[in-house]
Structure 1
């Protein structure tokens, strides 16, 4: 009678596999546990809302030539391009001047409300529609900055960008915790879904900025002008990028400075993705802000520079923004003002208390101890 061999025992998990599982579990926990970078999302909302509002106000005298019925790029030409590209725009639904003026006024109001954070969930969608409509209507009459602004406006729809520094946060500050009400499972599911969407949206925004810098530096190193340090010389001599000809000529007269600035630009863009998780990111981000300010002034691209500066803010942690708020001497506000009084500091916090998964106050913005036992006041 044959004897059957015993089944082999399951192979133990190797240390490398166990570490991979632990990291995966940590990432999943981070993804669904709580929203990250809420302050950075608020900065993106305020920055892009303000930028687009200023942009629309700046172009108000020229609105008809750029987007209106009197534009050389007529609505009929725009619709013909849409048939090939698949773009859509609310501005081409009618050739009426009254309709265009109403759309322009609605765009101004939407940008202001998005910046202030009023009904952010709905207004963020409207803001994305506004940016996409104006971008598609005059796609050949922009400086490139609105390309990134369009992407960011779509990404921000999925984030909780109204949870900090907004009218929504002030309105919700005085509401009691709702953990004991019926239907808590549904609220927990909505909260978890919102957290996942927010975290994924912030990750996509950060990845988009990294891809942008990476692709920019790849294009630069392929050309010989950046390698020999003469790229900025040619840029400064283009009439299209000379809003201040005297300043351009002055800078172009210092060949060594121009070459060093070109090499530094490439070095910053190469190093950017590799310094995001260390303290070196602070000086790198500071130099990038200086770079974009220089582009805005010297090359006359303020919208592009503003969009890039705001995008870089996504890499600053929440503790950085909280430290900025703590250093400002806030004065106590009267009762009913929508803020939360911090008895330990004697000041008013702008961040409302947020309910946790169990309905208890997590202590973000009310000066109480957070889940980690540290003070999380704004």
Structure 2
């Protein structure tokens, strides 16, 4: 083998993705989309309708561009949101089983982007990760293995076990590494992270700490060690691409373990689950050979059952319009260019996010505001909770905070005053929100408070109590008193 062939083989082994890894990625993403929709549905009215915290007129005023591109803003009615959620859930299921995979993936991405654009204030880093990795994966053959589409091909695809290599795979792998590497840059700019204080400080912020977190928070020395271990893992993240075979598999397992440890101790929204989607595609063929050998009998059993059913292509193909051959050839020629563009843009975005290159003065988006910081450079130093009271038409003062009974006295568990990560993100961000946004929340409290107490409220008062994690000192931010609408 010549030098050129060896270089190409080494490059392919590092930026190629096993077809079974893409299949696992597809299944996991599909299930994650389903779970995300079910969890979001708990607050369907509050976050996505005109009766919630962000009516469409307020959304259009604060985010005019997002309000125009979101399908979810076509109506503020509950039925419309429920319909879009149901359609998105259906496409996510089709993506999971690999039926019309490309169509299902594109539809799932478009509906996810529309959903995220409807209420920007409840998003966290995991939402962005999921949106980005799914977009990059649209250019890859997600249905080549372990899919109904593959079953419909009668096994004639001779490339089924061939690793996929190209700009698209390089873009997907690189994007995951850039998340870690960018985060490392911001942490190196942090006095708290570089002094080993960041993780111990974060674990004193009760609103994030769940499950095993309260117990771990007592072991400061252990948390300092975790601080330095995580920084080291961020710095070492390029090894995910540079290594291969079992060494790469071991590295991937360590990163997966770190994220699962986060899930057992902290509530970071979808961040852990979203990062696992990106790590799956790094697992090398040796892992999937072992997995397939272990679960082969189960897969073969399912395959035998499917073979006894009517063939998918025979049942539906006559009703499906096939793209003209010329259009398919044009798309095939354009795909490398598109994936190369995705790779370059992804690299430039993160380079701009860390300030290595300047962004245009009239840029509509600032990359640093949408980069992978995760508690950097400044980890939170304050905890806190809301106190909201309302006055009824009869002159009685009542508690109208919809998630817990709160007062100016410290709650037993601050985390319990935030029902989930999305409410926490919305409410913490409200402290820095515009007057228009706070007024919309006040009107939401007027409506929910009236429903809770069975009579109309005339006004509500909103206060946030800050508590320093260092000194325990408490201060108050009074957002003011808001008159409730008369109807």
Write the distance in 2 (CA, Å) between the matches of 1:267 and 1:51: 29
Match of 2:116 in 1: 135
Q: Does 1:270 align with 2:235?
A: yes
- Once the 2 structures are TM-superposed, how far is the Cα of residue 206 of structure 1 from its aligned partner? 0.4
Aligned with 1:253 (options 209, 218, 226): 218
- Once the 2 structures are TM-superposed, how far is the Cα of residue 41 of structure 1 from its aligned partner? 1.3
Match of 2:361 in 1: none
- For the residue of structure 2 that corresponds to 1:240, the secondary structure is coil
1:73-88 equivalence runs, <5 A: 73-84=54-65, 88=69
Write the distance in 1 (CA, Å) between the matches of 2:78 and 2:32: 25
Write the distance in 2 (CA, Å) between the matches of 1:79 and 1:167: 41
Match of 1:294 in 2: 261
- Once the 2 structures are TM-superposed, how far is the Cα of residue 208 of structure 1 from its aligned partner? 0.3
Q: Does 1:26 align with 2:8?
A: yes
Write the distance in 2 (CA, Å) between the matches of 1:335 and 1:266: 45
Q: Does 1:156 align with 2:123?
A: no
Match of 2:297 in 1: 330
1:145-294 equivalence runs, <5 A: 145-173=126-154, 199-244=166-211, 247-276=212-241, 277-278=243-244, 279-294=246-261
- Answer yes or no: is the 8 Å Cα contact 1:65–1:72 preserved in 2: yes
Match of 1:315 in 2: 282
Deviations 1:278-304 (A, max 9, x none): 443333222211211121121112511
Write the distance in 1 (CA, Å) between the matches of 2:43 and 2:190: 37
From the superposition, tell whether residues 25 and 213 of structure 1 become closer, same or farther in structure 2 (CA, over 3 Å).
Answer: closer
Write the distance in 1 (CA, Å) between the matches of 2:261 and 2:303: 45
- Once the 2 structures are TM-superposed, how far is the Cα of residue 81 of structure 1 from its aligned partner? 4.1
TM-score by length of structure 2 reads 0.56
- Once the 2 structures are TM-superposed, how far is the Cα of residue 336 of structure 1 from its aligned partner? 6.1
TM-score by length of structure 1 reads 0.71
- Once the 2 structures are TM-superposed, how far is the Cα of residue 113 of structure 1 from its aligned partner? 1.2
Match of 1:372 in 2: none
Write the distance in 2 (CA, Å) between the matches of 1:210 and 1:219: 15
Aligned with 1:54 (options 9, 12, 35): 35
Match of 2:468 in 1: none
Write the distance in 2 (CA, Å) between the matches of 1:336 and 1:257: 51
- Which segment drifts farther, 293-302 or 262-271? 293-302
From the superposition, tell whether residues 171 and 259 of structure 1 become closer, same or farther in structure 2 (CA, over 3 Å).
Answer: same
- For the residue of structure 2 that corresponds to 1:307, the secondary structure is helix
Deviations 1:188-228 (A, max 9, x none): xxx9xxx9997322211101011111001111121121222
Deviations 1:95-150 (A, max 9, x none): 23322221111111111111111100111110110110111111111232110111
- Once the 2 structures are TM-superposed, how far is the Cα of residue 80 of structure 1 from its aligned partner? 3.3
Write the distance in 2 (CA, Å) between the matches of 1:227 and 1:290: 23
Deviations 1:216-263 (A, max 9, x none): 11111211212221111111111331234xx43421221111111111
Aligned length in residues: 300
Write the distance in 2 (CA, Å) between the matches of 1:110 and 1:136: 19
Match of 1:120 in 2: 101
RMSD over aligned CA atoms reads: 3.2
- Once the 2 structures are TM-superposed, how far is the Cα of residue 337 of structure 1 from its aligned partner? 3.8
Write the distance in 2 (CA, Å) between the matches of 1:123 and 1:237: 43
From the superposition, tell whether residues 85 and 69 of structure 1 become closer, same or farther in structure 2 (CA, over 3 Å).
Answer: closer
Write the distance in 2 (CA, Å) between the matches of 1:335 and 1:47: 20
From the superposition, tell whether residues 197 and 287 of structure 1 become closer, same or farther in structure 2 (CA, over 3 Å).
Answer: closer
